A and B are shown apart, each in its own frame.
Chain A
Amino acid sequence: MTGIIIISLIAIVILFLGLYKLDKAIVPLAVAALLAAITSYALAWNTNIYYFNNMLFVDNFAILFSILTIATTILILLLSPGYFEKISSNVAEYVALILFSLVGVLCMVSYNNFSMLFIGIEIMSISMYIMAGIRKKDLASNEAALKYFLMGSFATGFLLFGIALVYGFTGSFNLETISTLVMESGGQAAALFVAGILFMIVGMSFKVSAAPFHFWAPDVYDGAPSLVTSYMSSVVKTASFAAFIRMFIVAFAGVIHIFTPTLWALAAITIIVGNVIALYQDTFKRMLAYSSISHAGYMLIAILALGPDSGNAIFYYAVAYSIASVSAFAILIKVKALKNSESFDAFNGLAKNNPKSALALTISMCSLAGIPLTAGFFGKFFIFTIAINQGFYWLVGLAILNAVVAFWYYFRVIIAMYMKSPSSDEKIEYGFSYKLVLWIAAIATLLFGLLPGILSGLL
């Protein structure tokens, strides 16, 4: 809770820093504030306190996801020096918007009341609508912002409608009250209640870009500036999943069996669509966009196979995916700056001139593909394990098959880096904070790939 206040206040301070042309202080201050926020969350471990008349409940689940999203934001902010300056002079506003969006994220991961979920989603989304369009002169960026906004509001409408129907049935927004009612009803649910939950699933599926509500994702990810995309594909996605599964763990656990076919189909379609379309992409960035859709599919499996380990599995997956994704986008930004292209060919021979970046990208690709010794492997491993324990053999089979397909497009970039010859001898120059992020990402990926026990037993 202190974390939310710190971040909100510092975001306002940063707006003023921008006014007084203190641009140099913006990122350090933001990072310091985020570190303070992480500390405040870490100190709240095991305390389980309710805030705002039970609107927020900071339990361990909320703390873990808060720390994960804040830490990912720190990594992204560390990449930002020199990036936003090229877009316009409104750097302070960009950083402040990211922080505001993070405040929304923090509400989403610790909500205990559907109105808080809605407010959180809106705070997060509205900031992101703006961030997607910060390249005012760039058509793709404008298109991304407008599409994101239009479709986002459309989907939010469904979410809100769903919340209203659930309220109509239960008379409450409070998750625990709803859960009690659901338990009392003994697994039976009225049609309107079911419809309400279905609409909420639709709304959340949009946010996590699950097929067939994924259409916005490739266009928006592709059009938005890469750094913003990395934020959307890591922090926003993590938060949406946390909110999605929290809804089921706390409120609807008693009736999840009714939605099994729906979630099953969503997961299967998402995995197939994400992986299969990713095969045929020409640009690395669009490939990452589709791969992010496929990852949403894998994470949906954990919600489908809801059990005591689901939260943990999603958390582990989100950690692995966020880290790998930030590192991939970081290198994409540099390659784009150097070659002015986001296609796979731009990566040709990267290993010759920049062996360390090539290695970092290889590690991140291996993690996304789920190769052993990287965090991504255990992410998939935990999710598949709980799914198999609940008997979803077919879905896991399908997911593994698709994971194999995924090797093809993840390795495409590795092959380009190591097997093809570079078009020029230019080297990528990295600043200190940039290097730091790449190192942290690579080490964390390997560490969590070697020692999954560090994180796997927390929830």
Chain B
Amino acid sequence: MESNFLPSDYFPIVLQLLAAIGFVGLTMLATHLVGPKRKTKDKLETFECGIEQQGDARAPISIKYFLVAILFVLFDVEVIFMYPWAVNFREMGMQGLMEMFVFIGLLLAGFVYIIKKGALDWE
């Protein structure tokens, strides 16, 4: 580990920042320049997908959508932890297995809690 860092050491970060912004700008520019321009009514719709849009996007949506969505993300993301564990399964051995059991156990406890609490009941 080096002890004297210079501002120039942050150069890669700046580079990446430029690349990120540049990419956005570049693609937007490119689509404008390269893409064909057909200005019909259907083409100017906000969502061009073949189905006509209905009402206002700001209509209140049941809180249950958010609840289910958030819970889905939560449990979905937790699977990520299992990949590195699976890859290192042999190295981590028995201890790793126990730790994963504890993890899954806590996860299941949460899951049971959610179901019991009725968070997934639609009605």
Contact = CB atoms under 8 A, between A and B. Distances in A.
Interface of A: 12, 15-16, 19, 168-172, 177, 181, 184-185, 190-193
B3 A181 contact: yes
B113 A19 contact: yes
Contacts of A16: 109, 113
Given A15-B113, A184-B3, A185-B3, A168 B106 contact: no
B2 A191 contact: no
Nearest to B5: A169
B106 A12 contact: yes
Contact of B116 (A19, A177, A181, A193): A19
B113 A192 contact: no
20 contacts: A12-B106, A12-B109, A16-B109, A19-B113, A19-B117, A168-B5, A168-B9, A168-B13, A170-B1, A170-B5, A171-B2, A171-B5, A172-B1, A181-B1, A181-B3, A185-B3, A185-B4, A190-B7, A192-B5, A192-B7
B10 interface: yes
Contacts of A19: 113, 116-117
Given A181-B3, A184-B3, A190-B5, A168 B116 contact: no
Contacts of A193: 5
| Chain A interface mostly | helix
Contacts, number: 33
Interface in B1-37: 1-7, 9-10, 13
Contact of B6 (A12, A172, A184, A190): A190
A168 B109 CA distance: 39
Interface string B63-97: 00000000000000000000000000000000000
Nearest to A171: B1
Interface residues of B, number: 15
A259 B4 CA distance: 20
Interface string B100-123: 000000100100010011000000
Contacts of A172: 1
Contacts of B6: 190
Nearest to A93: B117
Contacts of B2: 171
Given A181-B3, A190-B5, A168 B10 contact: yes
A177 B1 CA distance: 10
Given A169-B5, A171-B2, A190-B7, 19 more contacts: A12-B106, A12-B109, A15-B113, A16-B109, A16-B113, A19-B117, A168-B5, A168-B9, A168-B10, A170-B1, A171-B1, A172-B1, A177-B1, A181-B1, A181-B3, A185-B3, A190-B5, A191-B7, A192-B10
**Closest 5 pairs (CB-CB, A-B):** A19-B116, A171-B1, A169-B5, A181-B3, A184-B3
Nearest to B110: A12
Nearest to B115: A19
Contacts of B3: 181, 184-185
Contacts of B1: 170-172, 177, 181
B25 to A, nearest CB: 24
Contacts of A184: 3
Contacts of B109: 12, 16
Contacts of B106: 12
A192 to B, nearest CB: 6
A185 B2 CA distance: 11
B107 to A, nearest CB: 11
Nearest to A165: B10
A133 to B, nearest CB: 14
